[in-house]
Every structure is written in structure tokens, then in C-alpha cells.
Amino acid sequence: MWTELPEPQVVAEEVNAYRYQPLAVLWNDGTMMRLKSPTRLVLTYRMGKVRQHDLDKLRAFLREHLDRIESEPTILVLDSDSRSLDITLDGRTVRQSWPLMDRRQHPLLEEVVDRLFSVRIEDARTIRVDWGDSAYSTR
């Protein structure tokens, strides 16, 4: 059975020649789904709740840096592995993408991804996600 989830607040994803795959997804209520490692692309994720204190710290970081994130040069990535970031915060949406081969050229964007992987997920469970049917739906 499919469970439709609301629009996420933060999405970090990776795209390569073979697939599109979210690395981490964070919803407004603190629910997070992420790969076990940002470098290992599989269909199995951990899903649970981010502690309120950690969620507040992450949102404060995003608010503080949202203008800088938005001002990063947007890079159109063709035929190359890339990462992208969608952040919706306080009614404002910022989207960025950058090639994986240029990761060191985009430290702030990579720091957002790192922070998504550094927050602890409480009561996490393992889920398998099929992205082919409907984005942000879980089985």
C-alpha cells in the first residue's frame, strides 16, 4: 500500500546517467528519510523523526545561509553525475544543482548535504522506496 507524503521541506538528490535518487528528504514535521550513506546509492532508506533541537539547528543554519545558497551559480548539468538541492523555508523555495566532479567548488551546498546526514534520526526504521511510481511515496 502506498502512503502519500506531503511536500518536503528539503530534498537533496543525486542524478547520474542511470537514475535519479534522493539522498535525503526532510519534511516540515521533522520526518526524515535518507540513505545510510551519501555515497552509497541503493533503494533502502532509514526513516524516522529528527529531534526538535536538531531540527531547529538545521533550520537556523538554512535560514542563515539561504541567500548564499541561492546566489551560488546555478550549473546546468548535462551528461554528468550531479547533485541538486531544493529547500522550501518560510514560503521561499531555493533550488541549486552542481556537478559531482566540482564538489569542492560548492562547499556550502555540500555542507547542507553533510548536515542532513549528521542529524540523528529517532525511532528509525528501514524502508524500501520505488521511485519509479511516485516521488516521495513509500511502501
User: Does residue 139 contact residue 1 with C-beta atoms inside 8 Å?
Assistant: yes
Say which DSSP state 104 is in. G
What pLDDT, in 10s, does the model give residues 42-58? 678 899 999 999 999 99
What's residue 53's pLDDT?
A: 95
What pLDDT, in 10s, does the model give residues 109-123? 889 989 999 999 999
Cell output for 75: 550549473
What pLDDT, in 10s, does the model give residues 70-111? 887 766 666 778 888 899 988 889 988 888 776 677 889 889
In this prediction the pTM is: 0.79
Interacting residues of 65 by C-beta distance below 8 A, sequence separation 6+: 108, 112
Which domains, from first to last, does the chain contain? 3-134 (3.30.1560)
User: Does residue 77 contact residue 70 with C-beta atoms inside 8 Å?
Assistant: no
